C-alpha cells in the first residue's frame, strides 16, 4: 500500500484517484476549488460526475501537506497551470518519490512536451526517482464507471514504468509499459489536432465516410510527425498513438472533438473548455509547416480555418483537388 498525492481535483484527477483508491492505496487530493474538494470528502464530484458514488478522499489546499510522506505524486491539472504548480511542488519534496504525469500536450510557452520539461526540471532533485506519464485512450467518466481501459506507462526507465504499471493495474484498468517517450508524447499531442478536425467535419454536416477519410489521412500526418520527432514506427500503432486517436477523434466526450464540432455554433461557449489541440496546431504549423519540414495538409488547413478565417468548404474542396497519387 502506497501513499499517493493527486494534484488536481477535476475529472481526470478524480478518475486516477479512484483507480488507486480501489487498488487499496492511501490517497490525498490537492485542489483549489472548495466545492470540488468538499464533494470529494463526501464521495462525490458532482461538477463532473453528477450522482456517481466515489470513495471518500482526504483533501487539502496545502501543497506542503499534500506531499508529506507520499511515495508517488500524480499531476492531473491543465497544461496552462502545470508549470507554476509543478515548480512549487518539487521544491517541497522531502522523501524519495516517483512523479506520475497525466497532463498531455505542449508545456506552456514551449515547443517541448510536458513529460520532457517535467523530466528536465526533476533531474536536479535527487529525491525524485523519475517521471512516468500515463498516455492512452482514457476518458475520465469511463474510468469512473469501471469500463475496461488500457493505457501506457511511459518513460525511458523501464523499472519505474513497471512500478507504475503495478500501482494502477486491476481488473478494469490495464497498464502496459512503453519506453518510446518521443513517440508516445508526439502521438498524444497530434491526436488532439485531428480530433478538432474530425469534430469540425461532423459539425459541418459531412458523413461518417468523410470523417473516416480525414482521420485515416490524418493518421498518415501523425506518423510523419511522430517519426520527425524521433518516435518509433511500432509506437504509432499502439495505445498512445492510434488508440488515443480513435478515442479522441470520434467521441463527443472529447473536448477537442467537441470544440471542432461546435466551431461554427454561435450559441456554444468554448471559453471554459480546455482545448489542448489549439495551441498544438499553432506550434506544429510554425515549427513544421511554415518551415517546410513536413507536408501536413490537414493541419495546414485547420490553421487556415481557425486562425486565418478561411472558408472551410473551400478548404475541403482544395484538399480533394490536390494532385492525385498512390497511397
Binding residues: 8-13, 104, 140, 255-256
Annotated binding site for NAD(+): 8-13, 140, 255
Q: Point out which residues pair with 200 in neighbouring strands.
A: none
Q: Name the residue among 131, 234, 114, 122 with its Cα closest to residue 185.
A: 114
Q: Name the residue among 76, 79, 133 with its Cα closest to residue 107.
A: 79
Annotated binding site for substrate: 104, 255-256
Q: Name the residue among 149, 252, 156 with its Cα closest to residue 260.
A: 252
Helical ranges in 110-207 per DSSP H: 114-122, 140-144, 158-168, 181-203
Q: Is 252 exposed, middle or buried (0-12, 13-18, 19+ CB in 10 A)?
A: exposed
- Enter the C-alpha cell of residue 192: 488532439
> Is residue 56 among the annotated active site residues?
no
C-alpha torsion sign, points 178, 181, 182, 185 = positive
C-alpha torsion sign, points 183, 117, 132, 137 = negative
How far is residue 216 from each of residues 71, 91, 209, measured CA to CA in Å? 42, 44, 11
Name the DSSP letter for residue 113.
B
Determine the Cα–Cα distance for residues 84 and 180; give it in Å rounded to an integer: 27
- Enter the C-alpha cell of residue 277: 489541440
- Enter the C-alpha cell of residue 191: 491526436
Buried b / exposed e over 269-306, threshold 16 CB at 10 Å, is: eeeeebbbbbbbbebbbeebbeeeebebbbbbbbbbbb
Active-site option among 191, 266, 308, 323: 191
Name the DSSP letter for residue 57.
P
- Kindly list the catalytic residues: 191
Amino acid at each position: 500500500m502506497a501513499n499517493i498525492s493527486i494534484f488536481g481535483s477535476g475529472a481526470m484527477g478524480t478518475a486516477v484517484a479512484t483507480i488507486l483508491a480501489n487498488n487499496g492505496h492511501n490517497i490525498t487530493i490537492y485542489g483549489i476549488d472548495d466545492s470540488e474538494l468538499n464533494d470529494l470528502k463526501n464521495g462525490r464530484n458532482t461538477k463532473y460526475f453528477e450522482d456517481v458514488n466515489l470513495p471518500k478522499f482526504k483533501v487539502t489546499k496545502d501543497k506542503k501537506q499534500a506531499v508529506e510522506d507520499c511515495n508517488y505524486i500524480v499531476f492531473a491539472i491543465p497544461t496552462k497551470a502545470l508549470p507554476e504548480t509543478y515548480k512549487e511542488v518539487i521544491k517541497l519534496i522531502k522523501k524519495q518519490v516517483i512523479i506520475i504525469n497525466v497532463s498531455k500536450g505542449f508545456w506552456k510557452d514551449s515547443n517541448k512536451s510536458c513529460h520532457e520539461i517535467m523530466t528536465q526540471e526533476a533531474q536536479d532533485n535527487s529525491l525524485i526517482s523519475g517521471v512516468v506519464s500515463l498516455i492512452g485512450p482514457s476518458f475520465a467518466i469511463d474510468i469512473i464507471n469501471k469500463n475496461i481501459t488500457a493505457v501506457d506507462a511511459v518513460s525511458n526507465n523501464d523499472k519505474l514504468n513497471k512500478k507504475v504499471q503495478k500501482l494502477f493495474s486491476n481488473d478494469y484498468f490495464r497498464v502496459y509499459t512503453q519506453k518510446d517517450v518521443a513517440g508516445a508524447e508526439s502521438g498524444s499531442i497530434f491526436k488532439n489536432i485531428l480530433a478538432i478536425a474530425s469534430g469540425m467535419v461532423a459539425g459541418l454536416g459531412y458523413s461518417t465516410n468523410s470523417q473516416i477519410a480525414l482521420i485515416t489521412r490524418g493518421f498518415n500526418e501523425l506518423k510523419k510527425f511522430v517519426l520527425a520527432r524521433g518516435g518509433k514506427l511500432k509506437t504509432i500503432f499502439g495505445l498512445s498513438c492510434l488508440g488515443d486517436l480513435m478515442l479522441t477523434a470520434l467521441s463527443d466526450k472529447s473536448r477537442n472533438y467537441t470544440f471542432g464540432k461546435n466551431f461554427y455554433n454561435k450559441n456554444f461557449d468554448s471559453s471554459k473548455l480546455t482545448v489542448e489541440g489549439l495551441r498544438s496546431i499553432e506550434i506544429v504549423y510554425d515549427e513544421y509547416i511554415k518551415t517546410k519540414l513536413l507536408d501536413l495538409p490537414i493541419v495546414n488547413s485547420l490553421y487556415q480555418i481557425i486562425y486565418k478565417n478561411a472558408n472551410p468548404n473551400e478548404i475541403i474542396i482544395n484538399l480533394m483537388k490536390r494532385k492525385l497519387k498512390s497511397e
